Amino acid sequence: MTDIAAGPRRLSSTETVRAGLGRRKRHQIMLQGLGLAAISFAFLMLATLVGSLVMTGHKAFTQTHITLDVYVDPAEIPAAGLPRGGFRDVMTAALAERIPGVESRAELRALGAILSNGAQFMLRDRIVADPSLIGQTITMRVPVSDPYDQLKKGLIDRETPEAFRRVKDQEIAWFDTLMAQGAITEPFNWALFRNADSRFPELAGLKGALIGSAWALLVCFLISFPLGIGAAIYLEEFAPKNRVSDLIEVNINNLAAVPSVVFGLLALAVFLGWFGMQRSAPFVGGLTLALMTMPTIIIATRAALKAVPPSIREAALGVGASRHQVVFGHVLPLAMPGILTGTIIGLAQALGETAPLLLIGMNAFITSAPSTPFDSATALPTQIFIWADSPERGFVSRTSAAILVLLTFLVVMNALAIFLRNRFERKW
């Protein structure tokens, strides 16, 4: 101000700035580089995870099947005896037709083991549904048992000495003969989605877990969504700002960070212990998950309500709307995209939650899909847990496949959240 004409001083200040420019630029480049490195690393890790899952898991999306012409022998399966009958023997006989020279009982039994244990029940179901098939020759395509599925997929090394191999030389020869005959196919493994759990990997599917998860999520949503929004609206719009509401706020934020296993223990003690609810039921699972999801929804809803510009509230109050008209007529609709996004992310988290479900017994071995939320069931993450724990080789790839299915659901839910946010976002 005092000496505008003092040229050198102004020049020196420009030079001071210039001297620091290089350093500032270097810092900026370094920061960008670090960010890029962090993102690359995260991306690499993600690619490794998904890559390894796909590598192991893709094999479970196909299942080796064998096609057989089965003569439904009335001597073995008399129409009067249904649903009992010698279905296994009939299937083994059909297999023996294709492999000549298998005579002894021991050999027949070994040959029969090519077929999945479920094959006989598939034949039974078909005959029971249509008894007129007795006495005819019908074409059946049935899964092969797990070791032969592994063999077909190249997971059993033929070079391993016979003593250490699950499939003996003789059995490999039989299987190769069947392959040469064109009886072996490897179609898409619909059983993975159509069947519930089974001890036999070739029969095990996710249907029970998918339906169990769906019930649990539905119960979780129906409880946590209205309660969470109600609590958030009260806290944000109506509650007086004092110590009590501060305390409640701190506690809700803490609840969102409580490890899920603690909620599981709480559910075990309260829902199963005190209220005597049924164990392994998706209804109880949903209640437990709702405990976990509610704080997330409350926090997301409060943030969404807070983000609605105060000018909208003032506008509504200014024309004489009551507080509840302001909230339900203006603030809540505007906050809805944010609320829905938070809710979906909370539900996605609940979908992947394992620990609380383990504690209320949703990791039981259940071979049928639940038809109500009160039937015993598993959920997707607990099914993964069960399969990961199973010794049969076939469950290794099925575990990865189940994880891929779970991840797909999570990606779809998150995509839905992004879609809703973009679709309903309003601009002021």
Partner 1 sequence: MYDNPLTKRTAVTHEVKISARGVNVFYGENRAIKDVDVDIEDKTVTAFIGPSGCGKSTFLRCLNRMNDTIDICSVKGLITLDGEDIYAPSIDPVQLRAKVGMVFQKPNPFPKSIYDNVGYGPKIHGMAQSRADLDEIVERALRRAALWEEVKDRLSSPGTGLSGGQQQRLCIARAVATEPEVLLMDEPCSALDPIATAQVEELIDELREQYSVVIVTHSMQQAARVSQKTAFFHLGHLVEFGETGQIFTNPHDPRTESYITGRIG
Rounded least distance, CB 328 to partner 1, Å: 11
Closest CA to 120 of 62, 191, 72, 174: 72
Rounded least distance, CB 339 to partner 1, Å: 16
| Amino acid present at 44 | L
> Which residue, 230 or 309, has its beta carbon nearer to partner 1?
309
Q: In this chain, which of 259, 314, 371, 419 binds partner 1, going by CB under 8 A?
A: 314
Does 243 participate in binding partner 1 (rule CB under 8 A)?
no
Rounded least distance, CB 374 to partner 1, Å: 44
189 touches 67 (CB < 8 A): no
Question: Judged by CB under 8 A, how many residues of this single chain contact partner 1?
Answer: 22
Determine the interface stretch with partner 1 among 43-51, 70-78, 281-289, 305-313 (rule: CB under 8 A): 305-313
Rounded least distance, CB 327 to partner 1, Å: 12
Rounded least distance, CB 424 to partner 1, Å: 11
Determine the interface stretch with partner 1 among 46-54, 271-279, 291-299, 310-318 (rule: CB under 8 A): 310-318
> Which residue, 313 or 421, has its beta carbon nearer to partner 1?
313
Q: In this chain, which of 241, 243, 274, 391 binds partner 1, going by CB under 8 A?
A: 241
112 touches 95 (CB < 8 A): yes
Q: In this chain, which of 6, 37, 222, 315 binds partner 1, going by CB under 8 A?
A: 315
Burial class (CB in 10 A: 0-12, 13-18, 19+), 259: exposed
342 touches 421 (CB < 8 A): no
| Amino acid present at 207 | K
Determine the interface stretch with partner 1 among 87-95, 147-155, 293-301, 314-322 (rule: CB under 8 A): 314-322
Largest CA distance in the chain: 119
> Which residue, 334 or 403, has its beta carbon nearer to partner 1?
334
- Output the CA angle 50-54-56, nearest 5 degrees: 120
Q: In this chain, which of 110, 256, 317, 407 binds partner 1, going by CB under 8 A?
A: 317
Does 316 participate in binding partner 1 (rule CB under 8 A)?
yes
The residue count for the chain: 428
Fill in the DSSP letter of residue 58.
Answer: G
> Which residue, 10 or 324, has its beta carbon nearer to partner 1?
324
Does 240 participate in binding partner 1 (rule CB under 8 A)?
yes
Q: According to CB under 8 A, which residues from 188 to 227 bind partner 1?
A: none
For residue 21, CA distances in Å to 25, 32, 212 come to 6, 17, 61
CA–CA separation, 61 and 53 (whole Å): 12
Q: According to CB under 8 A, which residues from 322 to 361 bind partner 1?
A: 322, 325, 329-330, 334
3-class state of residue 361 by DSSP: coil
Rounded least distance, CB 316 to partner 1, Å: 7
Rounded least distance, CB 344 to partner 1, Å: 23
Rounded least distance, CB 230 to partner 1, Å: 21
Burial class (CB in 10 A: 0-12, 13-18, 19+), 251: exposed
Determine the interface stretch with partner 1 among 92-100, 172-180, 321-329, 337-345 (rule: CB under 8 A): 321-329
198 touches 207 (CB < 8 A): no
Instruction: Give alpha helix (H) positions in 75-206.
Output: 87-98, 105-112, 119-129, 146-152, 169-180, 191-194
CA–CA separation, 228 and 90 (whole Å): 59
CA–CA separation, 338 and 416 (whole Å): 12
> Which residue, 161 or 240, has its beta carbon nearer to partner 1?
240
Helix (H) or strand (E) holding 334: helix 332-351
> Which residue, 222 or 315, has its beta carbon nearer to partner 1?
315
Does 246 participate in binding partner 1 (rule CB under 8 A)?
no
CA–CA separation, 88 and 76 (whole Å): 10
Residues of the shown chain interacting with partner 1 in the complex, contacts defined by CB under 8 A: 240-241, 309, 311-322, 325, 329-330, 334, 426-428
